[in-house]
């Protein structure tokens, strides 16, 4: 068992879920966020950290054996916000990893790194990205800085292009992009457990019948998602009007993000 696992973004949607599930992986779980978190429980440490603050990030990473990095700006935003958390923040994180010898990261990248691919094309994890906004661009940057720190310094990262990770698929696009919390947990456990991880990009969706992502090149990881958004199709159909055939939510993998403008400061 590792000594200390760091979960960043621990106050957010995925951080809170995985905090409740991954406690057995380390003697101590360090939880970090810029905002509010539940107080530390048994075997937990709580740290407040703005990812743009290099010194604070260095202290956050010191003493950690592995990182599950959910921290960062999670949707489209003005450039200064994206840059602080997802560009400067990623540089600060990997510098801290290099300096303190933390060699394994699970990075919450996003489907918005490839949002401008169409839903009628199947793409694999080696395709050249087509981000759908500044946020998507920042996730491509995150994948690239992870690649550089792997090839130069041996720091291993799984960049998971997460689809839509919520309790249930809530719209028609999510019938393809949904990732259940259980499947995310299984994926993180594999990425932290596998002896040699390297630096793969992995699509993060469940075993959905409707699917435009091909993970066959990372089959070696042994991650087998088990849930299927198809089970919720009738519910989604009943709750939501079917979008028009030319709506961004139907045409593009990134859905509505592709139609968003550049957010001003």
Q: Which residues are identified as catalytic?
A: 135
Closer of 157 and 253 to ligand 15L (Cβ): 253
- Residue choice 20, 75, 148, 244 for contact with ligand 15L (CB under 6 A): 75
Query: Binding segment for ligand 15L among 108-116, 149-157, 189-197, 239-247 (CB under 6 A)?
Result: 108-116
122 near ligand 15L, rule: CB under 6 A: no
111 near ligand 15L, rule: CB under 6 A: yes
- Residue 170 CB, shortest distance to ligand 15L, in Å, is 9
Query: Binding segment for ligand 15L among 52-60, 104-112, 228-236, 239-247 (CB under 6 A)?
Result: 104-112
Query: Binding segment for ligand 15L among 52-60, 77-85, 106-114, 199-207 (CB under 6 A)?
Result: 106-114
Closer of 17 and 103 to ligand 15L (Cβ): 17
211 near ligand 15L, rule: CB under 6 A: no
Q: What is the number of other CB atoms lying within 10 angstroms of the CB of residue 77?
A: 19
**Distance from C-alpha of 114 to C-alpha of 118, rounded to nearest angstrom:** 9
110 near ligand 15L, rule: CB under 6 A: yes
Q: What is the 3-state secondary structure (H, E, C) of the chain?
A: CEEEEEEECCCCHHHHHHHCCCHHHEEEEEEEECCCCCCCCCCEEEEECCCCCHHHHHHHHCCCCEEEECCCCCCCCCHHHHHHHHHHHHHHHHHHHHHHCCCEEEEEEEHHHCCCCECCCCEECCCCCCCCCHHHHHHHHHHHHHHHHHHHHCCEEEEEEECECCCCCCCCCHHHHECCHHHHHHHHHHHHHCCCCCCCEEEECCCCCCCCEECHHHHHHCCCCCCCHHHHHHHHHHHCCCCCCCCHHHHECCHHHHHCCCCCC
- Residue choice 23, 63, 74, 198 for contact with ligand 15L (CB under 6 A): 74
Span 14-53, contacts to ligand 15L by CB under 6 A: none
167 near ligand 15L, rule: CB under 6 A: no
- Residue 14 CB, shortest distance to ligand 15L, in Å, is 9
177 near ligand 15L, rule: CB under 6 A: yes
164 near ligand 15L, rule: CB under 6 A: yes
Query: Binding segment for ligand 15L among 19-27, 105-113, 210-218, 239-247 (CB under 6 A)?
Result: 105-113
Buried b (16+ CB within 10 A) or exposed e, 151-160: eeeebbbbbb
Closer of 65 and 76 to ligand 15L (Cβ): 76
Binding site for ligand 15L (CB under 6 A): 74-75, 110-112, 164, 177
């Amino acid at each position: 068992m590792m000594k200390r696992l760091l979960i960043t973004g621990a106050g957010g949607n995925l951080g809170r879920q995985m905090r409740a599930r991954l406690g057995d992986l380390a003697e101590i779980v360090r939880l970090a966020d810029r905002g509010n978190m539940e107080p530390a429980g048994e075997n937990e440490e709580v740290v407040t950290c703005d990812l743009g603050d290099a010194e604070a990030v260095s202290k956050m990473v010191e003493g950690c054996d592995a990182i599950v990095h959910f921290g960062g700006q999670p949707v489209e935003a003005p450039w200064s916000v994206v840059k602080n958390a997802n560009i400067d923040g990623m540089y600060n994180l990997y510098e801290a990893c290099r300096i303190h010898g933390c060699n394994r990261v699970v990075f919450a990248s996003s489907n918005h790194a490839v949002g401008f691919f169409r839903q009628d094309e199947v793409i694999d994890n080696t395709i050249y990205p087509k981000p759908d906004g500044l946020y998507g661009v920042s996730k491509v940057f995150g994948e690239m800085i992870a690649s550089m720190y792997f090839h130069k310094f041996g720091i291993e990262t799984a960049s998971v292009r997460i689809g839509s990770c919520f309790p249930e698929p809530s719209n028609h696009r999510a019938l393809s992009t949904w990732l259940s919390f259980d499947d995310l947990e299984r994926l993180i456990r594999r990425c932290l457990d596998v002896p040699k991880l390297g630096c793969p990009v992995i699509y993060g969706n469940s075993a959905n019948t409707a699917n435009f992502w091909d993970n066959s090149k990372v089959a070696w990881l042994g991650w087998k998602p088990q849930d299927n958004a198809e089970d919720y199709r009738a519910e989604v159909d009943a709750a939501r009007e079917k979008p028009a055939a030319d709506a961004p939510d139907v045409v593009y993998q990134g859905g509505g993000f592709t139609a968003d403008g550049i957010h001003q400061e």
